[in-house]
């Protein structure tokens, strides 16, 4: 483990990271956010999903350092007596889970479509890319809303609450595959004329084998970069959907849901309910985004 870390640190990528203070800070913040989210059950003072642990009489407590704050709720509580800090830790976990899962889904769809489209070419390529063009003309959030709307009609209310997370993954995942597909297709068009592909064709490898064993490893670089930046976008999209009330339910809130709950109390001065989840969302999305930017530059040989 340590050796791997040391090798990374001494690699070109490591060198590039050391040169960029912004990237270092972003990496640390992202690492802390992801770590805190991953270990939420051990770090959080309360379990916000355990309804039995909520006490309505503790509702609307301000942060601990204010006059009426309670020490057991460091960042205050919401209108149901849910601890805001625990809510953020668990909420970030859901936001990250949705983000990562939907990025992976987009990636799988996008890379497959891009490889096939670029390698097979012809009518398949034309149709797939026109579909991609059409999808690109809609904002991603609109497609996510559309998919979510269909899922809502198809599933009953009870089922929708339990499957909310996967509906979100599906709707965000389906709205983001085009970038991957276009990038991979572009690289594939270049790569497929190269000798190693022709050699593979000559020895009689099937199209699938060539695409996934030979082409795929050579087109993954840009995919990683898009993936990192897309992760930040996906987290924001998830928060937007939850803020609009079509994402995670209140019983298992994500960061966006927490902000939505807090939003109702902004006028009444109970600012902590929306400010802290909002700040957490900004930190998480910004750090991931900055990391993505740095990765893009670091992997771009022309900028080295």
Partner 1 sequence: MKPAIRRGALIVAACVLAASVGAHAATFRFADQGDVMSMDPYMLNESLLLGFMGNVYEGLTGFGKGLETAPALATDWKQTAPTVWRFNLRKGVKFHDGSPFTADDVIFSYERARGDGSDVKLYLAPIREIRKIDATTIDIITTDPYPILPQAISNWYILSKSWCEKNNTLRPVDVRKGTENYASNHANGTGPFALKSREPGVKTVLVPNPDWWGKAEHNVTEAVFTPIANDATRVAALISGEIDMMNPVPLQDVPRVQAAANLKVIQGPEMRTIFLGMDQKRDELLYSNIKGRNPFKDRRVRQAFYQAIDIEAIRSRIMRNASTPSGLMVAPTIRGFAPELNKRLPHDAEAAKKLLAEAGYPAGFEVGMNCPNDRYVNDAEICQAVASMLAKVGVKVNLVAEPKALFFPKVIKRDASFYLFGWTPASLDSHNALFALMATPGEGGQGQSNLGAYSNPKLDALTRQIASEVDQTRRNAMIAEAFKLHQDDIGHIPLHQQMLTWGLRKTVDVVQLANSFNYLRWVTVK
CB of 159 to partner 1, least distance (A): 10
Listed in sequence order, the DSSP H helices in the chain are: 2-10, 12-19, 21-38, 40-43, 84-120, 122-136, 140-154, 157-175, 177-191, 195-202, 207-209, 216-243, 255-263, 272-299
Contact 60, 270 (CB under 8 A): yes
Choose between 166 and 265: whose C-beta lies nearer to partner 1: 265
Q: Name which of 82 and 230 has its Cβ closer to partner 1.
A: 82
Asked if 122 contacts 189 with a C-beta cutoff of 8 angstroms, the reply is no
Return left, alpha or beta for 121; rule: phi > 0 is left, psi -120 to 50 is alpha, else beta: left
Please check whether residue 257 is in contact with residue 251, taking contact to mean a CB–CB distance below 8 angstroms.
no
Nearer Cβ to partner 1, position 62 or 110? 62
What is the binding site for partner 1 (CB under 8 A)? Answer: 50-52, 54, 56-57, 59-60, 79-81, 157-158, 161, 250-251, 263-270
For tokens 């891009």, the residue is 114
If the CB atoms of residues 51 and 108 are measured against partner 1, the closer one turns out to be 51
- Cα-based distances in Å from 73 to 24, 82, 183: 31, 9, 47
The SS3 assignment for 271 reads: coil
Measured from the CB of residue 34, what is the shortest distance to partner 1 in angstroms? 29
Q: Residue 222 or 265: which CB sits closer to partner 1?
A: 265
Q: Which is nearer to partner 1, 2 or 57 (CB)?
A: 57
Closest CB 47 distance from partner 1, rounded Å: 11
CB of 229 vs partner 1, minimal distance in Å: 31
Burial 148-165 (b: 16+ CB within 10 A, else e): beebeeeeeeeebbeebb
As measured in angstroms, the least distance from the Cβ of 56 to partner 1 is 4
Nearer to partner 1, 42 or 267 (CB): 267
Supply the minimum distance, in Å, between the C-beta of residue 266 and partner 1. 6
**Closer residue to partner 1 (CB): 161 or 218:** 161
Q: How far is the CB of 245 from partner 1 (least distance, A)?
A: 8
Structural contact between residues 246 and 164, judged by C-beta atoms closer than 8 angstroms: no
Whole-number Å distance between alpha carbons of 278 and 290: 18
Q: What does the alpha-carbon distance between residue 231 and residue 24 come to, in Å, rounded to a whole number? A: 18
CB of 258 to partner 1, least distance (A): 14
């Amino acid at each position: 483990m340590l050796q791997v870390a040391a090798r990374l640190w001494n690699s070109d990528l490591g060198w590039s990271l050391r040169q960029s203070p912004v990237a270092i800070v972003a990496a640390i913040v992202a690492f802390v956010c992801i770590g805190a989210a991953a270990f939420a059950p051990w770090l959080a003072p309360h379990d916000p999903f355990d309804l039995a642990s909520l006490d309505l009489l503790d509702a609307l407590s301000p942060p601990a350092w204010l006059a009426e704050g309670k020490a057991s709720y460091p960042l205050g509580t919401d209108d149901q007596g849910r601890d805001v800090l625990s809510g953020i830790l668990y909420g970030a976990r859901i936001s990250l889970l949705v983000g990562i899962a939907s990025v992976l889904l987009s990636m799988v769809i996008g890379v497959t479509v891009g490889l096939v489209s670029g390698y097979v070419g012809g009518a398949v390529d034309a149709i797939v890319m026109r579909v991609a063009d059409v999808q690109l003309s809609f904002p991603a959030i609109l497609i996510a809303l559309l998919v979510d709307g269909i899922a809502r009609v198809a599933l009953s209310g009870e089922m929708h609450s339990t499957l909310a997370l996967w509906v979100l993954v599906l709707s965000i995942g389906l709205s983001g595959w085009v970038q991957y597909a276009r990038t991979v297709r572009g690289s594939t068009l270049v790569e497929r004329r190269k000798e190693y592909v022709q050699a593979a064709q000559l020895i009689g490898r099937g199209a699938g084998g060539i695409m996934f064993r030979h082409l795929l490893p050579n087109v993954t670089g840009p995919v990683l970069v898009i993936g990192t930046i897309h992760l930040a976008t996906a987290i924001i999209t998830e928060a937007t959907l939850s803020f609009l009330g079509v994402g995670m339910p209140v019983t298992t809130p994500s960061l966006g849901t927490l902000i939505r709950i807090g939003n109702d109390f902004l006028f009444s001065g109970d600012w902590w309910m929306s400010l802290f989840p909002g700040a957490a969302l900004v930190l998480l999305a910004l750090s991931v985004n900055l990391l993505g930017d740095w990765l893009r530059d670091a992997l771009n040989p022309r900028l080295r």
